[in-house]
Structures are given as structure tokens and as C-alpha cells.
Amino acid sequence: MIFRRLVRYVQPHWRVFLFAFILLFIATMIEIGLPLGISYYIDHFLLPKHWIIREVLLFCAIYFGCQVLSALLLYKQEIRFQKIAQSIIRRMRIEVFSKVQQLSLAYFDRTPTGSMITRITNDTESIRDLYVSVLASLLQNSIFIIGVLVGLFILDPGWALTSLVLFPLFYMLIATYRKVSRPIFQKMRSKLSQLNTHLNETLQGMSVIQVFSQEARLYEQFRGLNQDHFQLRIKGIQADALLLRPATDFLWILVLIVILQFFGWQAIHAEIKIGVLYGFINLINRVFEPLQQIVTQLPRYQESIVSAERVFQLLDQQDLAPQQLGNDKISIDKGLVEFRNVSFAYSNGELVLDEVSFCIEPGQTVGLVGHTGSGKSTIVQLLLRFYEPTSGEILLEGKPLARFSEQELRTKIGLVLQDSVLFHGSVRSNIGLDHPSITDQQIINAAQLVQADPFIRRLPNGYDQIITDGGTTLSSGEKQLLAFARTMALMPKILVLDEATAHIDTETEELIQQAMIKMRKDRTTFIIAHRLSTIRDADQILVLDRGRIVERGTHKTLVNQGGIYAQMDQMQNGIVVG
């Protein structure tokens, strides 16, 4: 099944494939013809002492010419097969990559990032091996083996039939090897990956390890893994040594003995055919090489099939991000948001939002308050259509959210998260995200709007300053300012700030508070905050508890109500004053 699917990838390349195949076929025929030629030479020129210089020279010239031609053809076909394999893998990788882009966030939540990266990179690499080494070499070797068999029959049908015994023996060897080596290599690979994971994690957490004085303990763990890995390696070497090369070479000795016996009996009882003997040993010898290769490729073949299975699983994944319904070109130009009885449960059945309804007028600011897990972030994620509500309806500008194009949602709803990711790249590209439609001026305007411009200009290279991985050269507040600028560069109609100020020191927070006032102007704004201070002047505050809106109103009305909000407010105030 998987194999057939892999073969289907070759279909678009069938012309090149056919051509390469023909080249390969001719080259193989020549390669098998050459020992036959020598065999003929021995029996018809050398032995009868029929040795005319001119004929011998001609023979040599033809022999050499054929050799060069076959070498050339071999090279050409190899390159063709390589090209096919490369473009197949290219296609496959692009398919997987773009598939991953379409998957729903729910899928990302369930799947460790590491495994997804492996699918796109290492697994496809292993499939490339399948096309380059396994499929191509399987094809080459099979043609070769068939050719050799034909050659053997030409030399002597009797001997050729006997030599067929070789194949079941070979098959048995392969089967045994597979059975023995498979579990060993599986275990070995998993140990190796544990070993590398352990090393990686140690490096990541070195400061914690050192502060807690756990170096010795972790070293012991690592040593244990390393030792286990070594033991498995030895087992693998033993299996290889017992059943691979040494064994096939022994098989070759057995075959040789049979041939010698055959030849000997004939020589004793009839005339001798040294040329045939020569050709036979030579050809049999050559059949071993491709057989050996097939055997050595087998583990890789198994690995590739497993990889292909995993890649196809991902390609067949149906858990897609919500798609646009219909083809309407509706735009978001006011920012009217309404939730009608919206409920949402995770795939494990855990209810996170329970019949939530509210309506935000264009330009209003709404604050979402509640404890961790109360559903604040889920509201935002539903609004961004990262997830589809389990029941209920979300309306934008009075129309169902599902009818807006993704493009529209992404450019008109701007999101700032708690931990903003900065990319390796310049400040400029971190703000503009290399959007072709965003001009430099817009980038600077956005930076000015969020008050990031002064600190950017203070950087040694200003807007062209390269930010290293994770943005370690910037303070957390500065990183967050860049994230604000990035969002504002798109001039969204709806702004969503998800705990956007949690990691910021007070000075930067003040900057950001000022920036936020400007940013909120003419925009519908959602603010999620732990600290009530950030949402004090919101037009509406929704207090969530276990997925339900338990209180709503302005700061004043809520404080006067004396409910949860008032309590929270009192507490947060109390801290500062008391």
C-alpha cells in the first residue's frame, strides 16, 4: 500500500524514468557481454593458439570501447535517477510543509513539535534514500542479476541451472538477518535518540543543573544510556558480521566449489572449457555484488517504509484548520463582534466555554478577566478562528465568522501574545514580517505609534539591527514593544492583547499603556489581563469563571456590584496600598 503510493510519485517522471531505464539496460547488457567476450577469446584465440596481432588488437579496441560506453551510460542513468528522486522528495516535502500550515491548532496542541519537524525533514530524507539508493539500486541490481543469469545460460545451461540454488540460499540468509537485526537496530536507534535528547536537555538546562548540583547524577544517567547504546551497537555489529558480508562471501565460496566440481568432472571426462569456467566464475562473482547490495539496503528499506508511513499519515491528517465557507469577499471595516451562545470543548471533552454571549460595538474596548483556565484565551482563539466553536455562533460585522477569508481575518485582527516570538532577522523584518505590501514608512510609523522607535534608533544598527535567536539582546519589554509594532504595522480593525503586558517592567509598561491608548483608537480592542489596572477604562469588562461569563459591566458598575470583580480589585489594590 505504502509502496504503491511511493511508486505513484514516480509517475509524473515516467519519460525520464524510461530513458534512464533504457540507458541502464544497455549499460548492463554491455557489462555482462564483456566477460562473455573474454570467455570467447580464451576458448577461440588463446587455447587454439590462434593468435593474430591484428585480430587481438581489434578485440581489445572493441572491448575497451564498449567499456567506456557502458561507463558513460551508467553515469548518465545514475544522474537521471538522482534527479527524479530529488524532485520527488522536493514535491513531497512541499506537500507536507503546506499540509502542516493548514492543520488546526488542536492538532498542534496534541503533537509535539519535535515529531512534526522530524516528519518534514528527517523522515523525508529517509524516503529520499529509498528512491536514490533502494529503488534505483534495486532496479539496477535486478536487471543486472537477470542479465547475469542470461549470460550464464549462454555459457552453459547445465551449470546455470545448478547455480540457481544460490537464490533460495540467499533469500534464507536475508530473511534470517532481517529477523535478527530488526529489533536490535530499533532499540539502538531509540537509545541513540534518548542519548541525544538527554544531551540537548542538559545543555538547555545547564544553569539549573549546576545551581542544583545535579551534574553527577545526570552524568550517571547519561553514562548509563551511553553504555546501553554501546552494548546494542556491539549486538548490531555481531548480527551484521554473522549474517551480512562474511556470510554472503561464504556462500560465494560454496558456489565456487560447486562450479569447480562441475568443471573438474567435465575436464576429466570430456574436453575442457577454460573460457567457460572463467566466464562463469566471473559472472557469478558479479552477481554477488548486487545481491550484497540488496541485502545491505534492506535495513534502509525498512526504515524508509516506516518513515514513509509516518509522512503519509501526516499528509492524510484530516484535522484541518477551519476553512472559509463560500467565496464571499466580505471585509472587516467596522469591527463589530458578537458571540451568541458560544460553547467550546477540547477533543478530550473538557468544556472550556459554556454558552458565552456578548456583543462589542465598533471601537469599543473590552476587558476579559478571570483566573487561569477560566476561558479568556479561548474566546480570543475562537475569534481568530484558530478553533471552531463546538456550538453557538460568532458574528463579525453581523456575518458568520466562517464566511470571512482567512486573509481578511489575519490582516484585520491583530494579536499580541504574552510571549512574543522574535525571528532571527532585522528589526525591520520582525516588524514588517517581510510582507510585500508593508512599506518602510509603515514600519517606522508602527514603531512610532507603539513608542518603540526611540529604543530602536538607539540600537547600533537601528532598524537593520539583527536580532539573534529568541531576541536575547533585547529586554523583555523591548521585545514586547516590537511585537506591538508588528501587529500595528498591519493596521488591524480589531486588536487582541492576550496578557500582552505580563512580562514587562514598570517603565516599559507605562510606555505601553500610553501606546495602547493610541492603538485602541478607532479599533475594537480585546484585552486579557491578570492585572485589572490594564482594563480599568474598558467600555465593557467580562468576568469569566469556568467558561461562563459571571459578571459584566464597566469597572465602576462592577466595583459597585461587589462581586468577584470587586473582590479581585480590592485585593490587587490592597496589595499596593497595604
Partner 1 sequence: MKIFLDLWWFFRLEKKRYIIGIVMLITVTLLELFVPYVIRIIVDHGTAKTLTAGILLKWTLLVFISGILVYGCRYVWRVQLFGAAHRLGQLLRDRFYQHLTKQSPTFYQRHRIGKLMAHGTNDIQAVTYTAGDGVMVIVDGLIGGIMIISTMVFFIDWKLTLLAMLPMPIMAWTASYYGKLLHHRFKKAQEAFEDMTEDVQQNISSVRMIKAFGKQDSELSQFKKRMNQIVSTNLSAARIDALYDPTIFIITGVSFLISIGFGSWFVLQGKITIGQLTQFTFYIGDLIWPMLALGWLFNIIERGRASYGRLQKLLQDEEPIIQVSQPIKQLPSGEVKIYIPRFTYPNSNLVALQKLDLNIFPRQTIGLVGRTGSGKTTLLRLLLREFELTEGQIRLSEIDHRHIALKTLRVAFGYVPQEHMLFSTTIAENIAFGYPAATPEEIEQAARDAQVHDDILQFAQGYQTVVGERGVTLSGGQKQRISIARAILLKPEILILDDALSAVDAKTEQQIIQMIRQKRQDQTTIIVAHRLSAVEHADQIWVFEQGEVIDSGTHRELAKKSGWYQQTLLRQQTLTEGLEGRR
Main-chain dihedrals φ then ψ at residue 407, nearest 5 degrees: -50, -45
Mind giving me the DSSP string for 542-561? EEEETTEEEEEE-HHHHHHH
Alpha carbon dihedral 12, 18, 24, 30, in 10-degree steps, equals 180
Q: How far apart are CA 52 and CA 57, in angstroms?
A: 9
Q: Which is nearer to partner 1, 293 or 340 (CB)?
A: 293
514 binds partner 1 (CB under 8 A): no
Q: According to CB under 8 A, which one of 536, 546, 548, 552 is a site residue for partner 1?
A: 536
- 165 HSE (CA, 13 A, CB side): 11
Q: Tell which one of 334, 531, 546, 552 touches partner 1 (CB under 8 A).
A: 531
List phi, psi (to 5°) of 490: -85, -5
State which of residues 14, 18, 22, 83 lies at the interface with partner 1 (CB under 8 A). Answer: 83
Nearest-approach distance from CB 100 to partner 1, in angstroms: 7
Which residues, 6+ apart, have CB-to-CB distance to 410 below 8 Å? none
Question: Binding to partner 1 by residue 384, rule CB under 8 A?
Answer: yes
Give the three cell numbers for residue 3.
509502496
| 461 touches partner 1 by CB under 8 A | no
Q: What minimum distance in Å lies between the beta carbon of 322 and partner 1?
A: 11
User: How is residue 301 written as a grid cell?
Assistant: 528499506
Helices and strands of the chain, counted as H and E runs = 22, 12
Selected range binding partner 1 among 68-76, 323-331, 353-361, 453-461, rule: CB under 8 A? 68-76
Q: Decide: is 341 part of the binding site for partner 1 (CB under 8 A).
A: no
Q: How far is the CB of 67 from partner 1 (least distance, A)?
A: 4
Nearer to partner 1, 26 or 340 (CB): 26
Phi, psi of 207 (to 5 degrees): -65, -40
Residue 337, burial from CB neighbour count under 10 angstroms (0-12, 13-18, 19+)? buried
Answer for which of 165, 230, 325, 458 binds partner 1 (CB under 8 A) is 230
Other beta carbons within 10 Å of 281: 17
CB-CB contact of 524 with 362 (8 Å): yes
CA distance 85 to 135: 9
Spatial separation of the C-alpha atoms in residues 27 and 15, rounded to whole Å: 18
Contact call for residue 155 and partner 1 (CB under 8 A):
no
Q: Which of residues 361-380 bind partner 1 (CB under 8 A)?
A: 371-372
The residue among 113 and 327 lying less far from partner 1, judged by its C-beta, is: 113
What is the smallest separation between the CB atom of 1 and partner 1, expressed in angstroms? 27
Nearest-approach distance from CB 341 to partner 1, in angstroms:
25
Least distance from C-beta 74 to partner 1, angstroms?
5
Residue 329 in the binding site for partner 1 (CB under 8 A) = no
Residue 1 vs 51, nearer CB to partner 1: 51
Choose the stretch contacting partner 1; rule: CB under 8 A; options: 143-151, 327-335, 351-359, 498-506. Answer: 498-506
Binding-site size for partner 1 (CB under 8 A) equals 158
- Selected from 238, 331, 347, 557, the binder of partner 1 by CB under 8 A is 238
**CA-CA distance, 491 to 446, in Å (whole number)?**
8
| 188 near partner 1 (CB under 8 A) | no
Which of 162, 176, 186, 226: binder of partner 1 (CB under 8 A)? 226
Write each residue from 408 to 447 as x if it is in contact with partner 1 (CB under 8 A), else as -, in one continuous string: -xxx-x-x-xxxxx-xx--------xxx------------
Judged by CB, which is closer to partner 1: 246, or 462?
246
**Type and span of the H or E element at 358:** strand 351-360
Pattern of binders to partner 1 over 478-497, x per CB under 8 A? --------x---x-------
Written as one string, the DSSP assignment of 126-151 is: HHHHIIIIIIHHHHHHHHHHHHHHHH
Applying CB under 8 A, does 180 fall inside the site for partner 1? Answer: no
Nearer to partner 1, 4 or 469 (CB): 469
CB-CB contact of 401 with 394 (8 Å): yes
Least CB distance from residue 54 to partner 1, whole Å? 13
Select the residue interacting with partner 1 from 4, 11, 112, 398 (CB under 8 A): 112
Query: Which grid cell is 490?
Result: 498591519
Smallest gap, in angstroms, from Cβ of residue 318 to partner 1?
18
Quote the CA–CA distance of 421 and 479 in Å, as a whole number: 8
Smallest distance, partner 1 to C-beta of residue 302, A: 21
Nearest CA to 382 among 363, 408, 401, 405?
Answer: 401
Taking the least distance from each CB to partner 1, the nearer of 1 and 268 is 268
By three-state DSSP, how is residue 188 classified? helix
- Binding flag, residue 55, partner 1 (CB under 8 A): no
Choose between 98 and 441: whose C-beta lies nearer to partner 1.
98
The alpha carbon of 46 is separated from its chain's Cα centroid by a whole number of angstroms, namely 62
Among 106-114, 306-314, 331-339, 519-527, which window interacts with partner 1 (CB under 8 A)? Answer: 106-114
Question: Which one among 55, 109, 328, 333 touches partner 1, defined by CB under 8 A?
Answer: 109
Interacting residue with partner 1 among 256, 298, 351, 491 (CB under 8 A): 256
**Interface stretch with partner 1, choices 5-13, 144-152, 169-177, 263-271 (CB under 8 A):** 263-271
Contacts of 91 (CB under 8 A, 6+ apart): 9
3-state DSSP call for residue 338?
Answer: strand
Residue keyed to cell 531576541: 471
Q: List the interface residues with partner 1, window 117-146 (CB under 8 A).
A: 117, 120-121, 125, 132
Asked if 476 is part of the footprint of partner 1 (rule: CB under 8 A), the reply reads yes
Contacting residue, 5, 44, 90, 457, with partner 1 by CB under 8 A: 90
Place of cell 478577566: 369
**291 to 16, 164, 220, 301: CA distances (angstroms):** 26, 13, 44, 14
Could you tell me the three cell numbers for 19? 530513458
The only residue of 55, 309, 333, 510 in contact with partner 1, by rule CB under 8 A: 510
In the complex, minimum distance from the CB of residue 332 to partner 1, in angstroms, rounded to a whole number = 13
Please name which of 409, 453, 410 lies closest in space to residue 431, comparing C-alpha atoms. 453
